[in-house]
Amino acid sequence: MCDFFSNLLYNFLIAFGVIVGASVFAGMGAIVNNHSPVKTMISVASSIKIWAVAVALGGTFSSFQAIEKGLLKGEIKSVIKQILYIMTALIGANLGYSFIKLIQRWSKIWME
């Protein structure tokens, strides 16, 4: 049971980190290219959310295979675990996107 909660935490933080890390590095690239870093960060964060979930799950096919096996063999516990892993990764990715949006709001306040 402890492994299950550890994996949930890992999925959340990996998805969150992918969004925030990619956005920050895209913002640095935007500075080098003389573009708006905040707009670039928002654009990147919104476009890679699904990839952050895929990275957190370690590849989407393994999760869907586990769900399929669970449904066909009647192992509901396995299906619920995979759905919770997917939901946790989605929450992490969306929270990462919200964090980048918060940075955008802060930048508007700082520019005033």
- What is the residue-averaged pLDDT of the chain? 88
Please name the amino acid found at residue 17.
G
**All structural domains of the chain with their residue ranges:** 2-107
DSSP, residue by residue, 68-81: HHHHHHT-HHHHHH
Distances (CA, A) of 27 to 35, 65, 98: 9, 36, 16
- Residues 79 and 61: their CA atoms lie apart, in Å, by 14
Model confidence over 73-100: pLDDT tens digits? 777 887 888 889 999 999 999 999 999 9
- Global pTM reads 0.84
pLDDT digits (tens, 9 = 90+) for 15-70: 999 999 999 999 999 999 999 999 999 999 999 999 999 899 886 566 667 777 77
Structure tokens given for 67:
């769900």
